[in-house]
Structure 1
Amino acid sequence: MSRIGKKPVELPSGVTASVSGQTVEVKGPKGIRTFKATDDVTITVDGNVVTVKPRGTSKRARQQWGMSRSQVENLVTGVTSGFKKELEITGVGYRATMQGNTLKLALGYSHDVNFEVPAGVIVTAPKQTEIIVEGIDQQLVGQVAANIREWRKPEPYKGKGIRYKGEFIFRKEGKKK
């Protein structure tokens, strides 16, 4: 039995969900999100509650049960409060600025890095050493944050680079005389 799958997903006020076949569509104040479930699960909407049940007792059906319920919950979270990733830039001369739809990063290279922000994601740089990625799609927000971080990962000796807020970087000791 899936402990996650057994819990129903409650819809807050202002959020509606509809199921057509295996596709779940959730509408909320921040937008509309959809998810197509596999044929191994049955999704039903009763008032303000969405429930997911497995079709059969196969291993795949039980795997899809919990995963589908988590996906539906992420749709509801996305259209109500959205998702957010915060990045910090550490290093002398390292900075970020927004120019229109482009994030300009000065990361110690001979040139600035221009990162085009994809549709569906909002990127802001409130300070020169802070980047905030927001959106209603959890996967897209995480991928954009990972792509930005990829330009200069934190290195273990001085800790310079782009890191997630609150991320611990294992520091190494340098050469000894």
Structure 2
Amino acid sequence: MSRIGKQEIILSKQITADITKNVVTIKGPKGELQQTIADIIRVEQINNDNQEILLLHIEQNTKKARELHGLSRTLINNMVIGVRDGFTKDLEIRGVGYRSQMDGRNLILNVGYSHPVLIQAPEGINIKVESNTNIIISGINKELVGQTAAKIRAVRRPEPYKGKGIRYKNEVVKKKIGKAGK
């Protein structure tokens, strides 16, 4: 059995969970998220000492059920954290002349191409630009925040010789030594 899957998920006062068949809906102060859980995983809601607790149990002791046990628990826990606190990813742009700006809900990147690159923010994601080189992506869905950050980073990945490009904040890019001259 999964050690992560055995752990309980504690819901605070402002967060409510609704479980119907294999769909889990979490509502909180920042919004509402839904996740479909596999049929071989059962989600149980317990009211213990004025505190709501979610427990996950496997219906069959198969390899697939054990694999999905910890995953399902982590997905639901990320939903609880998302509707309570939200998630953020910070990106920074390095390079001479590289900059970014917002145009409504669209992010415009000037990162060395002959044209500016336009990226539309998905529904539920907020993108904020600080000082032309710092991009902050925030939202309640952890998967969507990470996917949006990866999509922006993929426009111009940091290159290993000069370190120019878009990188996550505090990301370490190993530098390579260039061609040796005479």
TM-score (norm 1): 0.98
Residue 35 of structure 2 corresponds to 35
CA deviations on 1:41-80 (whole Å, 9 max, x unpaired) are: 1101112100000112111111111111111101101100
Partner Cα distance (1:72, 1:117) in 2: 24
CA deviations on 1:99-149 (whole Å, 9 max, x unpaired) are: 111111110111111111111100000221100110111111111111111
Partner Cα distance (1:132, 1:44) in 2: 36
Residue 156 of structure 2 corresponds to 152
2:100 is the counterpart of 1:135: no
TM-score (norm 2): 0.95
2:50 is the counterpart of 1:82: no
Secondary structure, aligned partner of 1:103: strand
Partner Cα distance (1:162, 1:31) in 2: 30
Partner Cα distance (1:25, 1:116) in 2: 27
Residue 118 of structure 1 corresponds to 122
Residue 18 of structure 1 corresponds to 18
Partner Cα distance (1:104, 1:61) in 2: 44
CA deviations on 1:139-173 (whole Å, 9 max, x unpaired) are: 11111111111110000000000000111111100
Residue 5 of structure 2 corresponds to 5
Secondary structure, aligned partner of 2:130: coil
Secondary structure, aligned partner of 1:10: strand
Look up the equivalent residue of 1:169 and give its one-letter code.
V
Partner Cα distance (1:71, 1:117) in 2: 23
User: Structure 1: which 4+ aligned runs deviate by more than 2 Å?
Assistant: none
Q: Aligned residues: percent identity?
A: 44
Partner Cα distance (1:54, 1:162) in 2: 42
Query: Which ranges in structure 1 are unaligned for 5 or more consecutive residues?
Result: none
Partner Cα distance (1:125, 1:79) in 2: 23
